[in-house]
């Protein structure tokens, strides 16, 4: 009887399945029509984004004026300054500022946001940290009456303190930590971090806290700004800043930044648009003769986003010809030009991709084009493995003499895979 019922219901199940397929086909056709709900939502999102960008450029963005910055050692105190500057030697003053405000990774953020929900007491629940006094941050769309344009900044506590810290407050830990209910790529900006592991009093230890000192007098401003931008690592993941950073900070400030970390999703912001500015006169300007950050010692670019997007990025960028046999270097040419535009040749540049497949693809192609000697893996100071990419200048060198000349030039960067992925493998040159 059961077999008969199953057999009898088969035509009905077949009809239902066919009806479902037909429904999906018509739904797909309907979604591409201009008056469909999907298309209306796309147009509304596009309109809101255009309004957001126009409002930002017209009302918020104002190119910063250059102002002087000097170190305590370079600028002796004058007779009219506070007794603090007359009695304390410049070297001691700088050590005090460095201890109070230096050697950290600092977040810099700007966006249209709702006021964050704050707490007055440090949470006792181990699962909630309220970094910098922030309990949570609500995501809102542009134009919401609750929103305002807000600057955000805090000390990065995404991981516990390291036993052997890197210079300028650089961190080895992965910045891609999705916060609860957040659209950020780092929990610090929405109140989630490893604050209990860091020494100091909450929430002061999470906040930069330098504003009061900068506003106290001119001498304090000059010395404090040099410590702020010259001894810390500035981390930027906000799309508005990743594009308009050189417009919002003066050229003097840009010239004092020594360590920079950029978290970039190439799907949301193309590499060629990083730091080109929002104003029209910046859009088509040529690569400047000097880098945007002339004093930069460390540049760390973290490529975020799904792995297939990064692989597609490399494929879609018309990969440059590499060695004599025409092998392609599996890295976006836009990445090379961006690094040349931002950092001097003396800077140590590291490009991190957290995906093993992308790393292996890039490494294999570099092995075939650059050779084993130039593509040997090594342990990275950020943890995990890295190998060297020599940036092609009119194509990669094809002879030993050209390689030696390129080696003297020394222009290239490290391609890095973060810790936790074992990518050691035996390479074989393609026949």
Confidence at 198, pLDDT banded by 50, 70, 90: very high
Percent of the chain at pLDDT > 70 equals 62
Higher pLDDT residue, 201 or 306?
Answer: 201
Confidence at 56, pLDDT banded by 50, 70, 90: low
Q: Specify the pLDDT at position 75.
A: 52
The DSSP secondary structure of 38-98, one letter per residue, reads: HHHHHHHHHHHHHHHHHHIIIII--PPPP-----TTTSPPPTTS-HHHHHS-HHHHHHHHH
Contact 106, 208 (CB under 8 A): yes
For residue 295, being part of any structural domain is answered with yes
Mode of pairing for the β-strands spanning 412-417 and 348-352: parallel
- Residues 368-392 have a mean pLDDT of 83
For residue 398, being part of any structural domain is answered with yes
Among 252, 264, 278, CA closest to 57: 278
pLDDT at 95 over 80: yes
Contact 133, 189 (CB under 8 A): no
Could you report the per-residue pLDDT of 298-335, keeping only the tens digit for each? 999 998 876 655 655 544 333 333 333 333 334 566 78
- Residues 98-102 have a mean pLDDT of 92
- Residues 176-200 have a mean pLDDT of 74
Q: How far apart are CA 55 and CA 269, in angstroms?
A: 19
Higher pLDDT residue, 333 or 280?
Answer: 333
For residue 40, being part of any structural domain is answered with no
For residue 284, being part of any structural domain is answered with yes
Residue 136: exposure state from Cβ atoms within 10 A (0-12, 13-18, ≥19): middle
Length reported for the chain: 431
Q: Specify the pLDDT at position 369.
A: 72
Q: How far apart are CA 135 and CA 118, in angstroms?
A: 5
Cβ-based neighbours of 263, under 8 Å, separated by 6 or more: 175, 176, 185, 186, 235, 236, 237, 302, 304
- Residues 282-307 have a mean pLDDT of 77
Q: Which has the minimum average pLDDT: 10-19, 150-159, 228-237, 288-297?
A: 10-19
Could you report the per-residue pLDDT of 16-48, keeping only the tens digit for each? 676 677 666 766 666 666 667 766 776 776 776
Mode of pairing for the β-strands spanning 117-118 and 259-264: unpaired
Q: Specify the pLDDT at position 393.
A: 59
Among 296, 330, 326, 295, CA closest to 312: 330
Q: How far apart are CA 179 and CA 1, in angstroms?
A: 55
Among 424, 263, 431, CA closest to 351: 263
| Tokens representing residue 223 in the block | 């010395």
Contact 347, 296 (CB under 8 A): yes
State the average pLDDT for the chain.
Answer: 76
Confidence at 222, pLDDT banded by 50, 70, 90: confident
For residue 29, being part of any structural domain is answered with no
Q: Which has the minimum average pLDDT: 83-97, 262-276, 314-328?
A: 314-328
Structurally, how many domains does the chain consist of?
A: 1
pLDDT at 67 over 60: no
Domain region containing 398: 238-431
Q: How far apart are CA 289 and CA 297, in angstroms?
A: 18
The count of C-alpha atoms lying within 13 angstroms of the C-alpha of 288, restricted to the half-sphere facing its C-beta, is: 15
For residue 359, being part of any structural domain is answered with yes
Contact 254, 295 (CB under 8 A): no
- Residues 154-183 have a mean pLDDT of 81
Give, as one character, the DSSP assignment of residue 386.
E
Q: Which has the minimum average pLDDT: 11-15, 148-152, 410-414?
A: 11-15
Q: Specify the pLDDT at position 288.
A: 57
Q: Specify the pLDDT at position 146.
A: 78
Confidence (pTM): 0.77
For residue 347, being part of any structural domain is answered with yes
User: How many other CB atoms are found less than 10 A from the CB of residue 183?
Assistant: 11
Could you report the per-residue pLDDT of 115-146, keeping only the tens digit for each? 888 888 888 877 778 898 888 888 777 777 77
Contact 264, 303 (CB under 8 A): yes
Q: Which has the minimum average pLDDT: 6-10, 83-87, 171-175, 367-371?
A: 6-10
Among 240, 163, 154, CA closest to 189: 154
pLDDT at 297 over 90: yes
Q: How far apart are CA 39 and CA 33, in angstroms?
A: 7
């Amino acid at each position: 009887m059961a077999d008969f019922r199953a057999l009898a219901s088969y035509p009905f199940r077949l009809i239902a399945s066919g009806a479902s397929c037909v429904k999906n086909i018509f739904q797909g056709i309907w979604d591409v029509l201009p008056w469909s709900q999907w298309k209306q939502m796309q147009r509304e999102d596009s309109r809101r984004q255009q309004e957001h960008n126009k409002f930002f450029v017209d009302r918020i963005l104002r190119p910063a004026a250059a102002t002087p910055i000097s170190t305590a050692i370079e600028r002796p105190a004058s007779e009219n300054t506070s007794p603090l500057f007359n009695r304390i030697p410049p070297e001691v003053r700088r050590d005090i500022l460095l201890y109070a405000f230096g050697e950290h990774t600092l977040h810099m953020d700007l966006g249209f946001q709702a006021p964050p929900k704050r707490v007055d007491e440090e949470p006792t629940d181990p699962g909630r940290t309220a970094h910098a006094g922030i309990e949570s941050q609500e995501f809102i769309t542009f134009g919401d009456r609750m929103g305002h344009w807000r600057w955000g900044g805090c000390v990065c506590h995404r991981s516990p303190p390291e036993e052997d810290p890197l210079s300028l407050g650089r961190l080895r830990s992965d910045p891609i930590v999705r916060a609860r209910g957040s659209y950020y790529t780092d929990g610090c900006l929405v109140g989630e971090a490893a604050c209990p592991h860091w020494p100091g009093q909450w929430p002061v230890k999470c906040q930069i806290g330098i504003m009061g000192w900068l506003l106290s007098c001119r001498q304090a401003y000059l010395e404090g700004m040099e410590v702020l931008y010259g001894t810390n690592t500035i981390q930027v993941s906000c799309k508005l800043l990743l594009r308009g950073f050189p417009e919002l900070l003066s050229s003097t400030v840009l010239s004092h930044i020594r360590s920079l970390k950029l978290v970039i999703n190439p799907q949301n912001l193309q590499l060629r648009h990083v730091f080109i500015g929002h104003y029209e006169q910046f859009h088509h300007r040529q690569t400047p003769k000097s880098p945007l950050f002339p004093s930069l010692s460390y540049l760390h670019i973290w490529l975020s986003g799904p792995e297939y997007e990064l692989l597609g990025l490399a494929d879609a960028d018309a990969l440059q010809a590499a060695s004599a046999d025409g092998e392609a270097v599996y890295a976006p040419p836009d990445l090379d030009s961006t690094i040349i535009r931002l950092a001097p040749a003396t800077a140590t540049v590291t490009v991190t991709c957290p995906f093993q497949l992308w790393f292996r693809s890039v490494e294999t192609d570099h092995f075939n084009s650059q050779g084993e000697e130039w593509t040997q893996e090594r342990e990275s100071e950020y943890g995990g493995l890295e190998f060297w990419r020599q940036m092609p200048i009119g194509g990669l060198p094809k002879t030993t003499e050209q390689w030696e000349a390129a080696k003297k030039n020394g222009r290239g960067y490290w391609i890095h895979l973060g810790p936790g992925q074992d990518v050691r493998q035996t390479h074989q040159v393609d026949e």
